[in-house]
Every structure is written in C-alpha cells, then in structure tokens.
Chain A
Amino acid sequence: MSELQLAMTNTAGISSVMSFWVFVGSNAFRRPRELMLKLGLVVMVVGFLALTVAIGARGVDAGRFPLANLYESLLWFAWAVMGGFLIMQRLYPILHLGWLASLAAATMFLYGSWLPASQHEISPLVPALVSYWRQIHVPPLICSYAMFFLAGLSGLMQLWEAGRVRSLAWSLGSLMLGCTAIALGTFTSVDTFVLQAMFVGGSIAGLTGALLNLKQVMRTRVNAERAELYDEVAYRAIMIGFPLLTIGIITGGLWANHAWGTYWSWDPKESMALVTWLSYAAYIHLRIHRECSAEKLSLVTVAGMLLTLLTYLGFNSLGFGGLHSYGRFK
C-alpha cells in the first residue's frame, strides 16, 4: 500500500467514526444542533473525498480497477453509503439520519480492517476476472446494496417516528443476529449450518415479531410528518438502487455470456441477487397497489436490507460457494 492510499483510507475511516459521533452529539444537545449537523456533514464530505482519493490511489498502485476482493468492495460500499447519503440529504432534510449512515460506513471500514492481511494486499487477478466487464458489473451492484441499506435505515427511522417502537426493536434484533452471524462466519469457524440457522431463523423470527407488533403504537413518540418523510426517503433510495441492481445483474449476465457462453447459470450468488431483485420488485408493486401501510412497507425495506446483507456478505461468510468466490478467503 502506498503512503497516500494508506493515509487517505485512514482519513476516511476516522472521518466516518467522527461524523458518527458528531451526528450523535447533535441529537443529544439541543442548543448547537444545527451547527453540529452541519459539522457532521462537513466531516462526512471530507471522509467521502478522502475515500474517493484512496480508491483511486489503490487503482493506480495496482494498475487495475480497484475492485477485485472483499476488502476493496467494502471500501466501495462505504463510499457508496456516504455518497448516497450526501445525495439524499440534498433532496430531503434528513441530516439527523446522518449518524446511521456514518455508522454503516464505519462498520464496513472496521469489518474491512479486520480482514486478514492478504485481503489488504494488492493481488493479481485470476483469468476469469481479467476483463473490462468487471468494472461495469460490480460497481452498480455495490452502489445498489448501499442504496438498499440507506432505504432500510430510513425504514427503521420510519418505524421509530411512527411510534412503532416494538416493531423497531424486533427489526433491530433480526439485524443484530444477521450481522453477528456474518461476523462469526468471517472470523471464526463456527459450523455453517448453525450460522445459516442464526441468520435465516433470526430474520424470519424478527420480521414476524415486528409484523405482529405493528399495531402497538407509542403515541407520545409519533411524529407523523417525519414518519412520512422517511417513508418517502426509503422509497426514493430503493428507486435509485433498483435500476443499479438491474444493471448489475444484467451486465453480470452479459459478462458471463461473453466469458462462459451462458448468461445465467443459477450460481448461488447470481440467484441471491435475483432474490433481492424480486423482493424489491415486490416492494415497488406493493407501493403501486396502494393498500399497504407505510409501516408495513418499512418492514419490507428491513427485509430487503437483510436480503441485501445476505447477498453481499452473507453468502460467502455463511458457507456458500459458486463462481463468485472472490469474497472467500478462509
């Protein structure tokens, strides 16, 4: 790693942690709130720019497009989460969501930095990955995952602002279990069936619990206007993520067709991306149908976030293989 790349990656990582704390602080203190929100935003912009330079420098160091292993894809993910948030906050007054976006980015940094050193090094590509299709296929996918993450976070905020505290707790529980399963799968050798059961079981139980508790409203917490805002933010984020995922899946098919002569082979990762795609198609149609409450739609965004997590990180860390094994390193 070159000095520049290292310095910029560290700056970005530290900025994401810092912006998290500044945003959290802005929620805690009443007085300088506006100022702190702006400060948090500035720190995040700094982090975003630093990460842009870091990724660029890594590309120059490697002499190739810097998106070939899990570590690099995590950098991109953090970049896209920050970038997506910066775009969304221009459309909507959602700076107080900043702490969640920073938290997501910082978590990805942390996860990336804990990966074995071999992931941080710049390694040569296997024949299958030597192709210009790689840079067409992967970035839209990572960016779509980031947008779906933002949508899921907005969905969680929507539940909070709509006073659905219990549903929120259940949703958070399922997310925690999912993340724990992925962390255990990455860094320990816990049996994969246990981890799969933990992820899938946790998701199903958590979402069912959240759905059953949707009628429980804590009236004092309700802020209808903000709830509505988050509902729309989640929708818009999905409507940006959905075409990106579509492009990612289709260019993946075109690449496979170019390289192996078949555009679809039901590879697990491919199938998983299709599941995510179908789920968001279901979300879009639920919305068109206009009979679903905003809170139910928020739960769908949370379910979508779990599926995104499973597609992006879960599959490799929970013991699945396939053509897309770049995420494996154990």
Chain B
Amino acid sequence: MTTAPTLSRPAQTSPPPGRSRLAILASVRLTVLLLALIAAVVLIGAWCPQEAQVGQQKVIDMFGPDVALELSRWGVTDIFHTPLFLLLIGFLTVNMVACSVQRVFPRARLLKQPMPLLSEREISRLTVNSELALPGAPHTGIARLAQGLKRCGYQVRVETDALTAEWGKLGRLAGTVTHIGLLTLLAGVTVSSWTGFSGFQAVPLHGKLTFGQSEHSKLWIGRLPDWSVRVDATRREDYESGDPKQWYSDLSVVDSQGRVLKRQEISVNNPLSYGGVDIYQSSWGLDQLVVSFNEHVRHLDLRQMGKVYAAFLPLDEETMFIFSVHDQVKPLRLFAKRPDWGAPRLLAEIPPGKSIKLGSVNLTYREVVPVTGLQYKSDPGFPAVIAAFVFIIAGAMLAAVPHRQVWAHARIANKDDALTGTAGTSGENACILAVGGRSAKAGRAFEKSLSSLLAKLSGDGQTLAGETI
C-alpha cells in the first residue's frame, strides 16, 4: 500500500463541447505563445534605442545611417507603436478575457465549496498518504490530528470519524485576482490614451506654462484646461562639491482673469496637482544673463558649460568677454580672452546687483534669469491603473501560497492490521488513522511538513509496518 508520492499532473479538463472555436482563443497554449512573442518584441525594443524616447539621432549614432534607415523601415526603432505589437496585445487581451471567463473566474466559486469527505480507500489513492495506528477510539485519533493540523494553520472540518483540512485556500484565487488586475490595467491605459494629455515646457522665471502645445493628438474626448501656471521663483540647491542636489520652483495656478487659484513649491519627486493635471519639476537651468553697460541693459543668452553657465560677448575682432555664472547668488565672473593669451584672464568678480568700472564703462550685474523645465500630464485612467497595480501585486503574492488539502479517516483497529504490539495500540483500544492529501504547487514540501506532523502524533503510537509517507 506504500505510495511513493509522485507529483501527478493530470491533464487539463477539456472545455465543454460546442465551444471548440472559443477554445483556441481561450487556450493556455496560446497564452504561452503570446507571452513569449511579446517578450521577444519587448526585448528587441529594449535593445534598439527607440525614436519615441531618445530621438532619431541616437539610433543613427549607434548603427550608422544605412542600418538605422533599414531598422526604421521595419519598425524596429518604434516597435511599441507597430501594428505587430498592438496586434499581439490585442490577442493577449482577447485570450485573457476568454480564458478568464471560461476557466479562471469560475475558480472563485470553488472557495465556497466544502471539501468532500473521502473514504479510507480514496485516501490511499492520494499522492501523499499514510496510515498510522493510534491508541484510543477513532474520534480521539481524529481530534488529535485536527488539533495538530490547526496548530499548523489548517482550517479543519471534523465529522465524527473523519476530517478534511485546508491550508492556503486563498492561493486558489491567484489567477482570478491577477487577471482582473491585468484587464483593469488595459482598461486604465486605454482610458488614459483616449482622454489624457502631457507635455514639457521650459519656462523662464516669471513666465507662464500653458497647455496649448501639449501632445494631445490622442485626445479623443475632453478638452485642455484654460488656466495656466506662473513661475514665481525657481532655484537650485547644490552639494558642497557643486553638483546639483535639488531643484525647486514656486508655482501659482492662475485663471484666465489672472486670479491665483493655488500656490505651491515643487521639486523633483514633489509635484503640484491641480484640476486633474500634475506638474513635475523635471530639469533646471540658467537662461539669460542681464547686465547693463552705463545703464544700457543687455540680455545675454547663457550656455551650460559643465557646472557653470557662460555667455560670450565679442568686444572687437580680437577680444572676447566671457561671463560665467554658477547660480543666482554667487558672483558673476568676468573673463577676457585674446588669441595671444594662453587662457582667458579673470577680470573681475561681481556680486549680483553690484557694478564695476571698466575704463569709462560702468558694468552692472543686474540678474540672471533661471529657466525651469516643467513636465505636465493629465491621466484620467490613472485610478484604474493604480487599482490594477494593487490587484496584480495581490494576485502574484497569492500565487506564491501553495494550496494544501488533507483528508483523514479513522476506524477501530482489527486483527488484520499488522500492529507490532506497542503498548496501547493493540486490540480494541487502538484506531487506524488513514491520512492523505495533496498540494499541486508544493507536493514535496507538503509531504515533509505532513510527515513531521504525523511523526509527532504517533510519538506514542506508530505507523503501520512498511508505511512511509
């Protein structure tokens, strides 16, 4: 009667007749094929720089113009917008809906169904099974087993001389929960791409962010906001080394009449939300330098040169002024450069608002105008996406819970049971306990835990000769 437990993998029950056409769409084989194909496409998309993310130039830099053109023609450089990719996602959706409705969601009903009681014979046919002799009447044997199982966290149902027990029942919901999450995700993403908008604008200090330029080609439903966002202040915070640590912008939301509706300071990782639109700090720089020569105001464009920003002003054929600023508070450094000098010479350091004399000219450092890079987006499908995230995580975690089922049946021992005569387990004082169970996901671990439980139980009883679990 010894059963070397084997991981049995009974064939999947076939779908009811008359649904064969649906069956292909709902088959798990198709799922695996689709998942593998999508993975392959995404892998190619990860390998080849995508124009939509990094621009065409990067692709050309990497492969040279000829190969880049060829890749572009095959859609490899924008693979996530190719019909192939969308088609695969479409198939996956149909497959998931069909399979979920047909096979996965009905699983939820199983939760309510109690496990049936099994006879001694049926128990002996389970993948993991054992028989042991215990002192006392059958119901005491069952009661002791029930106690042991409960201590291991099983939900136990006792019926006089038999019991059923279950562990990790919720694990059976894994597929259902995950798939609900995935379908919700698809729904959320669809809503967003039909009604959302997003964009980026570099806004100088005191300038305004408006939404007219946003990428809303996909805006099928809904309209763009008529309010705008004014940059009241913006600054950078550095590490001691001079590397940037954080960027900040003080923003005001203003309506079309100029009334301020909301004020907030934003920074990287700390956006402003208003009217369903989120505004993010995404980059920062210095835009213009404002200086005056004898009250003659000039705006000079700044260029980033490593950690500083510089503006260039030719004085004559030979001489060039170089203005270098680091941020809004540190002094402006003025250099002059001539071809016969090896390196530019520092002429002066001018704190903001101060002036210096250069011969007959009074040079004043008025201000430096920073520019803040603001990213914005409106994403109406986002709540659904968040809900989907919760479901997907919960489902994946449930899938890690192995479902375990135990059945037991007890009867009074008789002469045919080859008891080896340990005290207390002979004659009418003993019961024979048939215990069996299964766990599709963790057969071996289940077997180990059940056998150690039974070993404890039979500390004063014994397993029948030749019986192993």
Q: List the B side residues contacting A124 at CB < 8 Å.
A: 239, 241, 243, 245
Q: Is the CB of A243 within 8 A of B32?
A: no
Q: Is A260 an interface residue (CB 8 A)?
A: yes
Binds B, one of A25-33, A69-77, A95-103, A234-242: A234-242
Least CB distance from B32 to A in Å reads 5
CB distance from A313 to the nearest CB of B (A): 14
Which residues in chain A, 217-255, are within 8 Å of chain B measured between CB atoms?
Answer: 225, 228-229, 231-233, 235-236, 239-240, 242-243, 246-247, 250, 253-254
The distance in angstroms between the C-alpha atoms of A258 and B386, with both chains bound, is: 13
Q: Taking the complex as formed, is A274 at the interface, i.e. its CB lies under 8 A from any CB of chain B?
A: yes
Distance of A247 Cα from B181 Cα, bound (Å): 13
A239 touches B441 (CB 8 A): yes
Give every chain B residue within 8 A of A289 (Cβ-Cβ). Answer: 12, 28-29, 32
Given A124-B241, A279-B39, answer yes or no on A261-B444 (Cβ-Cβ < 8 Å): no
Q: State the CA gap A92–B448 with chains docked (Å).
A: 8
Question: Which of A12-20, A44-52, A164-172, A262-270 makes up part of the contact surface?
Answer: A262-270
Assess whether A258 is in contact with B269, with CB atoms less than 8 Å apart: yes
Interface pair A271/B269, CB less than 8 Å apart: no
Interface size on B, residues (CB 8 A): 59
- Chain A contributes a number of interface residues (CB within 8 A of B) equal to 58
Q: Is B292 an interface residue (CB 8 A)?
A: no
Select B35's contact among A258, A260, A282, A290, beta carbons within 8 Å: A282
**Given contacts A239-B441, A266-B80, A279-B35, is CB(A261)–CB(B280) below 8 Å?**
yes
Question: Which residue of chain B lies nearest to A279 when distances are taken between CB atoms in the complex?
Answer: B39
Chain A CB within 10 Å, residue with most, of B47, B53, B397 = B47
A260 to chain B minimum Cβ distance, whole angstroms, is 6
B1 within 8 A of A: no
Q: Which of B67-96 contact A (CB under 8 A)?
A: 80
Chain A residues lying within 8 Å of B159, measured Cβ to Cβ, are none
Contacts of A212 on B, CB cut-off 8 Å?
A: none
What are 24 A-to-B residue pairs whose CB atoms are below 8 Å? A91-B442, A127-B244, A130-B246, A228-B6, A232-B442, A243-B399, A246-B392, A250-B392, A259-B280, A260-B375, A261-B280, A262-B198, A266-B45, A266-B80, A271-B43, A274-B39, A275-B39, A279-B36, A288-B28, A289-B28, A290-B11, A290-B12, A291-B11, A320-B47
* A residues whose Cβ falls under 8 Å from a Cβ of B: 91-93, 124, 126-128, 130-131, 133, 196, 225, 228-229, 231-233, 235-236, 239-240, 242-243, 246-247, 250, 253-254, 257-263, 265-269, 271-272, 274-275, 278-279, 281-282, 284-286, 288-291, 315, 320-321
Q: Which 3 A-B pairs have the closest CB atoms?
A: A271-B46, A243-B396, A278-B39
Show the binding face of B for A, using Cβ within 8 Å.
Answer: 4, 6-7, 9-12, 28-29, 31-32, 35-36, 38-39, 42-43, 45-47, 49-50, 52-53, 80, 175, 198, 239, 241, 243-247, 268-269, 271, 278, 280, 282, 375-377, 382, 385, 389, 392-393, 396-397, 399-400, 402, 441-445, 448
List 17 additional contacts besides A275-B42, A279-B36; criterion CB under 8 Å. Answer: A91-B445, A128-B268, A130-B246, A232-B442, A259-B268, A260-B280, A263-B385, A269-B46, A275-B46, A281-B35, A282-B32, A282-B36, A284-B399, A285-B28, A285-B35, A289-B29, A321-B49
